[in-house]
Chain A
Amino acid sequence: MSSAVVRKFLDTASQTLEVIDLRSQGEVSLIFVVMSFTIIVLTSFTTSLHVVVLTLVASVAILAVRNKRNYLRKLSSALLYVFLFSLIALTPFLTEGSVSLYLFYVLRAVSTTSFLLAATTVLGWEKLSEFMRKSRLPDAALLLMIHVKIISVLLRDTSKILLGREARLIRNAGLRSLPTYATVIGDLIIRSSEKSKRAFLAVEARMFGEASENLIFRKSFKLSKLDILVSLVAFIEFLICLAGGVLW
């Protein structure tokens, strides 16, 4: 695999993770969380093309409602990689006469990922770790958040390491590149350990978690556009699955 392609993939993945907000940009209702979870479960196991397409449309609609149109381009490039990887990973399903099923599985993987990404841009990583903080596990919540951020930093670091090796005339092509990638992993493990320690200190130094009681779900029962959107999608998908009897 060409090093340029690998680096392009790593940069795209790190950018995608970076654009997903750490903190929620507004109040989020429990309805949104529950319905999003329902949609993800239904889409992950459905055999209905309607459900898969509806989920894909819903994820674009969520970003549009939240004025996250600028994220669409970055997320779509990330989805392109998911598509390419699914094409490879799902090849065991590619048998004679089952091409359409294979393509359906690929589309389902892309659709589920797109909804997961869209829902996360609304919730924010902080909100996702809130359950732990509320369960008196603030350290675990902090670690989760750091790990999530460190992933994008490490992806970018990997890209830099590859670039540095290329600059020193190490060719990354074909099977010969495999030992190069193996040594990159060694470098990364050391870097990730050091970076995690420093990131932990940096987050702690800036009072992380002092306002944890502030991060609560909206208490008033007032439906927002997003609540209606995800509820409607979840309801329709549930009906489709029930009508077809093809949920699992």
Chain B
Amino acid sequence: MVTKLQLRNVWFRYSREEDYVLRGVELDLGESELTVVKGPNGSGKTTLILVAAGLLRPESGEVLLEGKSIYEQLPLARRKIGVSFQDPEDQFFNATVYDEVAFALRQLKISEEVVRARVTEIARRLGIEHLLSKLPYRLSGGEKVKVALASILVYEPEILLLDEPTAYLTPENKDEVIRILKELKECGRSVLIATNDSDIAKYPVDRVLKIVNGKLFAD
């Protein structure tokens, strides 16, 4: 199995006055792999996702994307890695759901016809077609999660780093989201889910890791 993303002895803290949030984290995320990182609140799950995406720089250690330092290839990393945030509203900054989903594609200079086709297609897959003209802030919790997911899946990143993707979802919606993520995994995508949702254990995933006080363990 080809390793897509690696974290090597990663130590991270937000400021010198604070304790380390990640302590010597080692993680390999392979191609076509669905990995779940479980942990209680404040254990470092969100920070792990942000560091793995190259959005935060660790104090020491390395983050490697396909064997090379992620920081030396950030523009490429942004295209290859899709990140969804714990609170979906954090990533909304467009006037409509359509613009929100289309944002990344427009950054990639893709023609508006292709953008429209891809946005419609992903909205249909996630069942949010009827929301496209609405304001993202006015949606329910579950709808916001789906829009956040659509805004990432639309540009087809190879690696998906998802922070609490099943939060706010009903059991039916949860099944649907996990089904989509498994489909993506079958298509060769690498998926890392950080969650404290105990229900996630009932879904067949490749690997479950546990994060406690910034240290990552095999579950």
Question: A residues near B, CB below 8 A?
Answer: 15, 18-23, 145-146, 149, 153, 156, 195, 198-199, 201-211, 214
Q: Contact: B91 with A202, CB < 8 Å? A: yes
Q: Is the interface of A mostly helix, strand, loop or mixed?
A: helix
Closest 5 CB pairs of A and B: A202-B91, A198-B90, A149-B93, A207-B107, A206-B104
Q: Contact: B93 with A205, CB < 8 Å? A: no
Which of chain A's residues have a CB closer than 8 A to the CB of B82?
205
Q: How large is the interface on B (under 10, 10 to 19, 20 to 34, 35 or more residues)?
A: 20 to 34
Q: Contact: A201 with B94, CB < 8 Å? A: no
B193 at the interface (CB under 8 A from A): no
Q: Contact: A23 with B135, CB < 8 Å? A: no
Which of chain A's residues have a CB closer than 8 A to the CB of B75?
207, 210
B50 at the interface (CB under 8 A from A): yes
Which of chain A's residues have a CB closer than 8 A to the CB of B79?
207
Q: Contact: A211 with B95, CB < 8 Å? A: no
Q: Contact: B99 with A210, CB < 8 Å? A: no
Q: Contact: B78 with A202, CB < 8 Å? A: no
> Taking A18-B137, A201-B50 as contacts, is the C-beta distance between A206 and B90 under 8 angstroms?
no
- 17 A-B pairs with CB atoms under 8 Å apart are A18-B95, A18-B135, A21-B95, A22-B93, A22-B94, A145-B93, A149-B93, A198-B90, A199-B90, A201-B85, A204-B55, A205-B82, A210-B78, A210-B108, A211-B106, A211-B107, A214-B109
Which residue on chain B has the smallest CB distance to residue A205?
Answer: B83
Q: Contact: B109 with A206, CB < 8 Å? A: no
Q: Contact: A146 with B78, CB < 8 Å? A: no
Which residue on chain A has the smallest CB distance to residue B137?
Answer: A156
B6 at the interface (CB under 8 A from A): no
The docked-state distance in angstroms from the alpha carbon of A23 to that of B78 is 21
Which of chain B's residues have a CB closer than 8 A to the CB of A203?
93
The docked-state distance in angstroms from the alpha carbon of A195 to that of B85 is 12
B190 at the interface (CB under 8 A from A): no
